[in-house]
């Protein structure tokens, strides 16, 4: 499946989770529910995937974690905040670069309009 096909399925799962739970919960609750729904769609999902950080010749394990990696192609960053800020977008861009992936989705579940709170971020490799 392509990144676009995967992201279409992801969006459907996001709506399902949001409609069932609504806003106001912790990020971990949405992450767990979304991982469950994605697996129900027969997608391969890894939660809290460690992301190695390399600077020049040294490799550091400093605790960067991707919330959800889907089919080893799409990164999902789950938020439950009042407003998304620039740092949230930059975080996804950095994760895309470090992992050499093309597509990331930034989702804020703490909203009254989930369709406006799903942000698609593309890494121009």
More confident residue, 72 or 60: 72
The two tokens of residue 116 are: 């406006």
Domains of the chain, with CATH numbers?
3-122 (3.40.1350)
Question: Please, are residues 119 and 99 in contact by the beta-carbon 8 Å criterion?
Answer: no
Quote the pLDDT of residue 15: 98
pLDDT reported for residue 125: 67
pTM of the model: 0.92
3 state SS of 10: helix
Average per-residue pLDDT for the chain: 93
Structure tokens that stand for 45 in this block? 């999902």
pLDDT-derived band at 59 (thresholds 50, 70, 90) equals confident
The whole-angstrom separation of Cα 81 and Cα 90 is 16
User: pLDDT confidence of 11, banded at 50, 70, 90?
Assistant: very high
Beta carbons of 66 and 95 less than 8 angstroms apart? yes
Q: Which residues contact 14 (CB under 8 A, 6 or more apart)?
A: 34, 107, 114, 118
Residue 65, H or E segment: strand 65-70
């Amino acid at each position: 499946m392509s990144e676009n096909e995967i992201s279409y399925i992801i969006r459907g799962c996001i709506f399902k989770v949001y409609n069932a739970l609504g806003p106001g919960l912790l990020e971990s609750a949405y992450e767990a529910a979304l991982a469950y729904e994605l697996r129900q769609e027969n997608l391969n999902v890894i939660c809290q995937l460690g992301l190695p950080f390399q600077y020049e010749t040294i490799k550091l394990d400093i605790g960067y974690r991707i919330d959800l990696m889907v089919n080893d192609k799409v990164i999902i960053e789950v938020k439950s905040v009042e407003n998304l800020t620039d740092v949230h977008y930059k975080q996804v861009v950095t994760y895309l670069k470090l992992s050499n992936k093309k597509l990331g989705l930034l989702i804020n579940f703490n909203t009254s309009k989930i369709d406006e709170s799903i942000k698609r971020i593309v890494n121009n490799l």
